[in-house]
Each structure stands twice: as C-alpha cells, then as structure tokens.
Structure 1
C-alpha cells in the first residue's frame, strides 16, 4: 500500500506540472526527467483512472472535463502534502512561497520588502507575480494574494494589511482643455478612465446635498491594471479614481490635481492578504503575512489618512 500511495502522489505532481507548464517537454525540463518518462506517467495515470485527462495536439494541450476535475482535486492534495511537510518541520520557514499581488501595491510596497524578508528566511524561495486580475489560488498554486477593494464572498481567509483613501484626479494638461468638473454630474461631459475587469456599469460614489449617491461615468479608455491607468492619467487621457497611496507623490509634485474633494464620501480602498483556509496555515505563509503587517504598520498612506 505505501508504494501505491507514493506512485499516486508522484503521478499527481507530474500531471499538475504538465498542466502548469502547458506541455510534456516543458514539464520534463522543470522536473529534470525525460519527456518519455512524463508521457509514460500520464498514460499510466489515465489507464488507472479509466479516463482521458488530456487532449494533446501539435499546437496545444487541453484538459478534458475529467481532467479539469482531477486537476482541481490534485492541487488540493499536493498543497495538503506540502503543508504537512511544513507542519512536521518544526516551524522552519522553507520551501517555495507563491505570492500574487496587484501591480501598484506590489511595486510600491511588496517588492521593496522582499529582499529583507528573504534575508530573514534563507531557506525560502519566493515566487512573485504581479497582476490586477482575479486569481484562482488553487488553480494557480498561489499561497497568498494581496488585493485591494471589497472582497467577494468566498471560502478564502483575509487578513487586513491597510486601507487607503480613493481620490479622483486628472493631469493639469487635461483640465486645461477639458475644464474642471465642479459637481459629480459634470463628469458626464468628461473622459473617465475605468477598469475593464468591472462587470457592473462603472459608477463612482459621492456625497451630494447630504446624501450618498453614485455617479455613472464613461470614457473612451478602459484598462486592466492600476499602474497603466495612472500612466494614462499622467499623460492627460482623462479623469481617474485611484488609491491615494498610488498617486500621492504625483499630487504633491503637481503632476496630478485632486478633483471633487468636497463631495468625497470617505471613499476607502481596503487592502487584504488572502489565502486558502481549512487547515493549519503553512509557516511560510504565516511568516510572510506577519512580515508585511510589520513592514506596513507605520505607513500613513495605508491608514486611510490624507
């Protein structure tokens, strides 16, 4: 029985790596085995399960419906095995830590903190990715993701790292030719930059005549990440709503101008570290989150302050 269990975990690891790398040859290189060995392992796995998991063509590799289900389950099992190893290691912070963060926050706060964190934990490998899109932590084998804004209901665990005011702003050059909005309704006549990963109709919150309102906004440019949006605002492409932590230096230098501040309803952007719950938190994840809490604790821009 132990031999059979060992073979199963090995097959899962190879299968997951094939999916992650997108092919047999790439998986073989990452695992330091031959492509024929990978092919034999996958064939043995499919024979044992009695189901085809992968559709292989000269151009692409695609998961079947059974393959999707097995891949999802295999990732959970491999993560549990890794967590068990971590728990049995007596608290040592080692292994590979996969972190995904938004581009603005990652550039400004996470990346500068990583070298000191790695120096404190010399047996740890950090795998760092930046994206503003939604990440499936299980499918992407991500240990912790850092996200801004309201979190959707899910089975994930969240640890608050900070919060920042959101601010509406534009470059002086844009305001020179388009005019400065005096009320929220004036935004209807302006190019407002929005994110293309928001499903709902873009609207911004305000406090107007003593009540909370939302103002629908439109524009000719939609963007998939905050850093590109800031660059477009700086270039005079329109008006944007961004985290103050992201644009405070540009406002202080006069490159951007805050707008409609008298109507700001206390618009806050929450910042969380999120991770998968349901078991002991791996030491590498706990160490990283605690380190980021410590590193960000004295940052005024992440306390919702102006």
Structure 2
C-alpha cells in the first residue's frame, strides 16, 4: 500500500485510545468503530511496522517495549498536530456545536441566565441543550458536557466542580396553612412528601427528632422526573419538596415558598460538577472554552 494511502494519524489516534482505554471494545466506542475493526487496524499497524505492539490475553492488553515507545511518540505527534490546528484556527475563535446534558434545575436557574453572554463571546459556537435529571451515558447520548448533581462515582469521566448547594425542604404558605408546619419527623407522617421518580444518592430526608436525627423516606401521591417539576408542584401547594437552595431562594424571598425543618444537624449539601469524557488530554477548543466559562460563571451555592 502506498504511504500516501495510509491514514497514519488516524491509526495513531485509534492506537492511543486502545492503550488509554485498556482494550479494543472501549477504544471502539470512543472511535465509533467495531471492536473487530479496531483489532484489525492494530494488526495492520503491527504488520506494516514489522513489530508486535501489544501482547493480547483474555483479560487485558500489555504493551511491548516497542508498543510503549510507539504510544509515547504517537501522543507527542498528535499533540503537535492538535497544537498546529489550534494555531491555524485560532483559539480565540473556536467553532462548532456543543451538546450539553443538564438537570432541569441547573438549566433553568443557571445556564439559561448566562448562555447569552457565552454566545456573544464565541459567535462561532452553537449550543444544543438536553434537560434531564437522569444520569446519562455521554457517549451514547453524544453529549460533550453533562452537569450533574451529587457525588461523583469512579468512571472514565473527568469533572470540574461547579460548587456546593444546600438541599432545603420547602412548601407553599397555602399548603402549610392547610396542613400545618412540620417541626419534627413525627409531624411528617401526615404530610405529602414530593419525591423524584427514580433512585437518587440522597433519597431519604434527614430531619430532627428530639435530640437526634432520623431519616424519613419520601412518601406522597406525586413524584416527578426533575427538580423543576417538584418546585412548581410545591409552589402550587401540592406538598413538601426538598430542593437545591439556588433554585428556591428567589421563591423564598418572594414569599412563594417557606423553608421548614431547617436544622444545622440535618443540612445536606449537594455538589455540582461539569463532567466530560477524557480524550487523552486533547479537548476541542469549543469544549474547553465552555468548561472554563461554566467554571467562572456557572457556579452554584
């Protein structure tokens, strides 16, 4: 095969993914190829180079010394190519589409208020937003960035923290006038506790009971798929809801909601992160500038 017919940079990118992802299947998902196609590509690469790059076993891949040297040179070459392309395109003018997956609460109360500024700063970038409180697979959903609440689990995702927020139990003045204001866990027995329609990291409510604290399960006739729906249900007088502080502060100040069962011993703090799939240290400029923008202007408290 003539050298000009070989996509050597493409082969390097796939090989780097094989090494960094630890296998053909994981590299295939990132490279949008089948595992067999990745395996054949590496085999062709080894044939052309005249040396074995990886030792295959049923459980894992091990680099040969030649494979390690080729991997390290490939990383440097790809980084140089990326730098050359960034210099040619100018990092001051990144272009392209960014797909953001975010909770309804963050999308409504934070992202929608700052996005116009980002679009003015970067006229070459367009943004597609999908709002859901469910944790999604970024690769399957073709999302570049996801904003997630709660503790980060170990995964291949890289995270930038966007702050911490208190979870507040709130209700409308009308609801409390009809059902009374709860003070202890026992008082919640006859209250409608609005919850999410899926399992969350912090599902039960920690509330005071005498000198101690008890965890009370969410129990009510209504549940919803996102925090914004629960917020509107609470404002409408349907029941009590536990929501992120940054989403209800304006409602509390305006008298639409009232915080109840606030006790220093039971205050639950929830972290927010912008997460993205690591790409061997190579992030497109459009994603990098959005992450920097969220870190500066999209923080919660």
Q: What is the TM-score with the length of structure 2 in the denominator?
A: 0.69
In the alignment, which residue of structure 2 is the partner of 1:33?
Answer: none
Q: Does the 8 Å CA contact 1:188/1:217 hold for their aligned counterparts?
A: no
Tell me which moved more, 220-229 or 104-113.
104-113
In the alignment, which residue of structure 1 is the partner of 2:95?
Answer: 94
Aligned in 2, Cα 1:252/1:223: closer, same or farther, shift over 3 Å? Answer: same
In the alignment, which residue of structure 2 is the partner of 1:62?
Answer: none
2:286 to 273, 284, 287: 284
What secondary structure does 1:250 align onto?
helix
Q: CA deviation at 1:89?
A: 2.6
Q: Does the 8 Å CA contact 2:185/2:208 hold for their aligned counterparts?
A: no
Q: How many residues align?
A: 237
In the alignment, which residue of structure 2 is the partner of 1:171?
Answer: 172
Aligned in 2, Cα 1:282/1:205: closer, same or farther, shift over 3 Å? Answer: farther
Query: Which runs of at least 4 in structure 1 moved beyond 3 Å after TM superposition?
Result: 1-6, 72-75, 83-87, 199-202, 206-213
In the alignment, which residue of structure 1 is the partner of 2:295?
Answer: 293
Q: CA deviation at 1:137?
A: 0.4
- Tell me if 1:256 matches 2:257: yes
- RMSD (Å) for aligned C-alpha atoms: 3.1
In the alignment, which residue of structure 1 is the partner of 2:193?
Answer: 192
Separation of aligned partners in 1, 2:170 and 2:164 = 19
In the alignment, which residue of structure 1 is the partner of 2:184?
Answer: 183
1:203-249 deviation line (CA, Å, top 9, x unaligned): 11235556554222311111100111101111111101001110111
Aligned in 2, Cα 1:199/1:118: closer, same or farther, shift over 3 Å? Answer: closer
Separation of aligned partners in 2, 1:127 and 1:195 = 25
Within a 5 Å distance, the mapping from 1:1-306 to structure 2 comes to 76-77=30-31, 88-90=85-87, 92=91, 93-198=94-199, 202-206=203-207, 208=209, 211-262=212-263, 265-279=266-280, 280-296=282-298, 302-303=300-301
Q: What is the TM-score with the length of structure 1 in the denominator?
A: 0.68
Gaps of 5+ in 2: 12-23, 34-78
Looking at CA atoms only, which structure, 1 or 2, has the larger radius of gyration? 2
Aligned in 2, Cα 1:199/1:116: closer, same or farther, shift over 3 Å? Answer: closer
